[in-house]
Amino acid sequence: METIILFAPLVGSILAGFGWKLMGERAAMWIATGLLFIACFFSWIVFLSHDGTLQHIPVMRWIESGSLATEWSIRLDRLTAIMLIVVTTVSALVHLYSFGYMDHDPQWKHGESYKPRFFAYLSFFTFAM
């Protein structure tokens, strides 16, 4: 569940940024926002079920050479659980607000579609946080 929280905004960003021509402009916006709301829902579950102990959740091995082994992992403690709900909840609400905000924004050039790109950047920014 923690890896879904981490990677859902990245997947939404990739789908909205690169796949919007296949699925359509509106669908790309909904997918990016929907994946962020899924991450928000799971982060609330993690926050409410967290018992206060430190958890180490491995994501993938990074380098392994002899006795050196480094991995990319998630350290889940109280502060992480709080920051997960703050970042995902605020970002999900910003995504939802952006639907109405971007609907009234005229396109810059005739025929240019920039709304999926905006949602891709917004989702990638959330992933980076």
Predicted TM-score of the model (pTM): 0.85
Residues 43 and 77: beta-carbon distance below 8 Å: no
- Tens digits of residue pLDDT in 49-97: 998 899 999 988 888 888 898 999 999 999 999 999 999 999 999 999 9
Ramachandran class of 111: left when φ > 0, alpha when ψ lies in -120 to 50, beta otherwise: left
User: What residue numbers bound the domain in which 73 lies?
Assistant: 2-128
Q: What is the pLDDT of residue 111?
A: 64
Cα 115 from Cα 3, distance rounded (Å): 27
Spatial CA neighbour of 9 closest among 46, 30, 35:
35
The per-residue pLDDT of the chain, averaged, comes to 89
pLDDT tier at 107 (50, 70, 90 boundaries)? Answer: low
How many domains does one find in the chain? 1
